[in-house]
Chains A and B, each alone.
Chain A
Amino acid sequence: MTPLADTRERYVAAFKAFAGNGAARAPAWLKEMREAAIARFAELGFPTTKQEEWRFTSVAPIAETTFALSRGRESPHVTPRQLEPLCVGGPRAVRVVFVDGAFAPGLSVVRDLSRGVRAESLAAALERDPELARQHLARYAPYQASPFAALNTAFLSDGAFVYVPAGVEFDRPIELMFVATAGDGPTVSHPRSLVVVERGARATVVESYVALADGLYWTNAVTELAVGDGARLEHYRLQRESRQAYQVATTHTTQGRDSMLRLHPIALGGGLARHDVQTVLAGSGAELILNGFYLLHGSQHSDHHTVIDHAQPHCASHEFFNGIVGERGHGVFNGRIIVRPGAQRTDSKQTNNNLLLSTEARADSQPQLEIYADDVKCTHGSTVGPLDQTALYYLRSRGLSPETAAGMLTYGFAAEILGRMAHAELREELDRVVRARLADRSGGGRRA
């Protein structure tokens, strides 16, 4: 076992090499930020299961593996034909593709962006318009609090940048694809995404993580979403990493007055996956829908920690998370709702329902309410259990076979979440992906 101090030193050494080579062209403020972030990581180190936030998820396998910093792939290694079946945005989508963490212009489809809308690599944005990026980058994802956000920030070199200027309603889905080739030896990439939807603007963004092969690698992603006053953002996230891969990710959001944010995170992949979603309702009258879903089998472990921070009055948040856990899978859900002093007339609702498909499957569900205002409406509920026998019998009494009935009830757990997705084309594509994954499992494929 690697002593923890060595682990930290390994990343600090890797950072020195990184700062010395590839990252030299960055603006001074970014260099300073990276230095501060690696220093913070060196202080924090990897979390252990002794820490409450990591009680159910051990990242020891990540800490103990020596990952080489991914250098990105030349685009010719990956062909558009390989990516095609993995795209979910449909034919109209704007597509920004990254291969092993590096922007792949040859695979991206970015055209007809009018009215100042931008969908591009973050590296390009930093070069061309550093001030715009500076206004938002790392403002919502504090690296002081998380060693993983700190590492991501320290190694920040590329990622996606989406910018929809004030008042612009952009109706084509913007698909950000992070492709892992899972090739030679364990590598780590630190993709960073920044999505800025200004006052009164509208956008639909899909963040997608896919693998071209089975293999061991680590994705350490950070995404920041800034939704301006009166703006609307529909954000989909599809995690389909390889079954051997690790993914640690944080999504940080901030919302202005009367804004509407709908988050749809779907986790299907990875051997070990952790996704923290931290949202702040920072303007009164803002509305948030956090509508997520995980489907695990084999020995997959997936942990979602969500925080909904009601910082202002008259905001509404509705959180729905469903999990289907089969075989030896382990699902973890921790949902924290904070209602700050003065955040009166908060309307908050949280549910987490887990379906266990085998006796070895496990789910841990922890709602946490912290309410510091008195005129609020907050409800929460969570369930963990096998298929409902009464429901099975009801379906069978209508002529359905036990297998069909069980399949329907299981699919219903996913369909309930999919049904809340507003974009019809994306919903259908994601439905197809989820059905294929469910069929794969019922076919008995033990792959992980």
Chain B
Amino acid sequence: MTDKVLLEIKNLHAGIDGNEILRGVDLTVRAGEVHAIMGPNGSGKSTLAQVLAGNPAYTITTGSAQYLGKDLAALKPEERARDGLFLAFQYPVAIRGITNAYFLRSALNAIRKSRGEEELGPVEFMDALEEKLKLIGWDDSYLSRPVNDGFSGGEKKRNEILQLAVLEPKLAILDETDSGLDIDALKTVAHTVDKLRRPDSATVLVTHYYRILTHIMPDYVHVLSGGRIVKSGGKDLALELEEKGYDWVRDEAPVA
């Protein structure tokens, strides 16, 4: 483990359409760490994920988020991605007509190009992809299908994890990737994420439920409520939440 700070969020306020949802979030993520951000519905978990990925619909009003020492607010979504920030979407978007293979290769090449690496041709790409497909238990029939078009909920989530595996980000944010998955799919996804962990990368799991944390052990657990992190702790905190429910921390929460 290194002490390198990947993400530093300070007093972040942000919202959408004039509604403030995040009301002073502080969070530091270092290389090698796994953080879990838990919280009840409407607490701002997904907003935090979207703000970090650069969704243009959201606005930062106060505070800052620094990624690799750069102010995220000054970076476009594609610049963040090329710098190694990845968001696995809670609701992945269907792209009609574009095959998964073409999409994945275009994304990987956009990132490789920005790093000054050579772009991969279709054949080299397929070779590199084989092992990643195995990780999530897919055959290559999924590659010729249009991106997320007609995919089941579980298939869409797996497809996000396939992108994670291919793009090898430094900071991966998984927004409710576990929700809507059956137990086998959950195990596969969790196992893959665990396997992709590297000492120089970090993972932020945004989740409503405890169960994924039994497969991916977090180093830190934070509880988000009313747009703020109201409690942080080790993995035991997740277990405590599982037993006592969110009301327990909500009661402790400072009045927003």
B98 touching A398, Cβ below 8 Å: no
Contact flag A400-B78 (CB < 8 Å), given A412-B146, A416-B146:
yes
Identity of the chain B residue whose Cβ is nearest the Cβ of A416 in the assembled complex: B97
Q: Are A412 and B167 in contact (CB under 8 A)?
A: no
Q: Is the CB of B77 within 8 A of A396?
A: yes
Interface residues of B in 79-117 (CB under 8 A from A): 80-82, 86-87, 89, 92-98, 103, 106-107, 110-111, 114
Q: Please, what's the 1-or-0 string for B55-83, where 1 marks a CB less than 8 Å from any CB in chain A?
A: 11100000000000000000011101110
Is the beta-carbon distance between A402 and B93 smaller than 8 angstroms?
Answer: no
When the two chains form the complex, which single residue of B77, B95, B97, B98 contacts A397, counting CB atoms closer than 8 Å? Answer: B77
* Interface residue total, chain B, C-beta cutoff 8 A: 30
In chain B, residues 20-75, which have Cβ atoms closer than 8 Å to a Cβ of chain A?
53-57
Any chain B CB within 8 A of the CB of A218? no
Cβ contact within 8 Å between A399 and B97: no
Interface pair A399/B114, CB less than 8 Å apart: yes
In the complex, whether B163 has a CB less than 8 A from a CB of chain A is yes
Interface pair B78/A394, CB less than 8 Å apart: no
Q: How far is the CB of A179 from chain B (nearest CB, A)?
A: 31
- The proximity string for A residues 391-424 relative to B, scoring 1 for CB distances below 8 Å and 0 otherwise, is 1011111111110100011011111111100000
What's the minimum C-beta distance from A371 to chain B, rounded to whole angstroms?
A: 26
Instruction: Report whether A404 and B106 are in contact in the complex, using a CB–CB cutoff of 8 Å.
Output: yes
Distance in angstroms between the alpha carbons of A388 and B87 in the assembled complex? 19
Cα A216 to Cα B167 with chains together (Å): 52
Q: Is the interface of A mostly helix, strand, loop or mixed?
A: helix
How far, in Å, is A208 (CB) from chain B's closest CB?
23
Chain A contact-residue range equals: 20 to 34
Given the interface pairs A399-B82, A399-B110, A401-B110, the reply to whether A413 lies near B56 with Cβ below 8 Å is no
Decide if B107 touches A414 in the complex (CB within 8 Å): no
Determine whether the beta carbon of B89 is less than 8 Å from that of A394: yes
Any chain B CB within 8 A of the CB of A390? Answer: yes
Bound-complex Cα distance A415 to B110 (A): 21
Q: How far is the CA of A418 from the CA of B56 in the complex (A)?
A: 32
Residues of chain A within 8 A of B110, CB atoms compared: 398-401, 404
Contact A415 B98 (CB under 8 A): yes
Please tell me which one of the listed residues B76, B81, B89, B97 contacts residue A412 in the complex, with CB atoms under 8 A apart: B97
Instruction: Report B-chain residues with C-beta under 8 Å of the C-beta of A394.
Output: 89, 92-93, 95
Task: Give the docked Cα–Cα distance between A330 and B210 (Å).
Answer: 53
Do A413 and B78 touch across chains, with their CB atoms under 8 A apart?
Answer: no
CB distance from B209 to the nearest CB of A (A): 24
Q: Which residues of A contact B55 (CB under 8 A)?
A: 393, 397
Q: CA of A148 to CA of B68 in the docked complex: distance in angstroms?
A: 67
Contacts of A400 in B (CB 8 A): 78, 106-107, 110
Q: Are A398 and B167 in contact (CB under 8 A)?
A: yes
- CB pair B98 A412 closer than 8 Å: yes
A358-402 interface code vs B (CB 8 A; 1 in, 0 out): 000000000000000000000000000000111101111111111
| Nearest-Cβ distance from residue A389 to partner chain B, whole angstroms | 8
Residues of A within 8 A of B114 (CB): 399
Residues of B within 8 A of A412 (CB): 95-98, 146
Nearest-neighbour CB distance to chain A for B188, whole angstroms, equals 22
Cα distance A396–B93 when bound, in Å? 12
Question: Knowing A400-B106, A401-B110 touch, does A411 contact B53 (C-beta < 8 A)?
Answer: no
Q: How many angstroms from the CA of A400 to the CA of B82 in the assembled complex? A: 9
The residue among B93, B96, B110, B114 with the most chain A CB atoms within 10 A of its own CB is B96
B98 touches A396 (CB 8 A): no
Complex Cα–Cα for A269 and B95 (A): 27
Task: Please measure, in the bound complex, the distance between the C-alpha atom of A389 and the C-alpha atom of B86, giving whole angstroms.
Answer: 19
> Which chain A residues lie closer than 8 Å to B98 at the CB level?
408-409, 411-412, 415
Instruction: Choose among B76, B96, B107 the residue that contacts A398 (Cβ–Cβ < 8 A).
Output: B107
Q: Tell me the smallest distance from the CB of B88 to a CB of chain A, in Å.
A: 10
Beyond the given A388-B93, A399-B114, A400-B107, please list 6 additional residue pairs across the A-B interface where CB-CB is below 8 A. Answer: A396-B78, A397-B54, A398-B103, A412-B96, A412-B146, A413-B96
**Residue positions of A touching B, CB distance < 8 A:** 353, 388-391, 393-402, 404, 408-409, 411-419
Question: A-contacting residues of B (Cβ < 8 Å)?
Answer: 53-57, 76-78, 80-82, 86-87, 89, 92-98, 103, 106-107, 110-111, 114, 146, 163, 167
Q: List 14 A-B contacts (CB under 8 A).
A: A353-B96, A388-B93, A391-B94, A393-B56, A394-B89, A396-B77, A396-B81, A397-B78, A398-B81, A398-B110, A401-B110, A404-B110, A411-B98, A419-B146
7 closest cross-chain pairs (CB), A and B: A412-B97, A416-B97, A415-B97, A399-B81, A399-B110, A398-B107, A394-B93
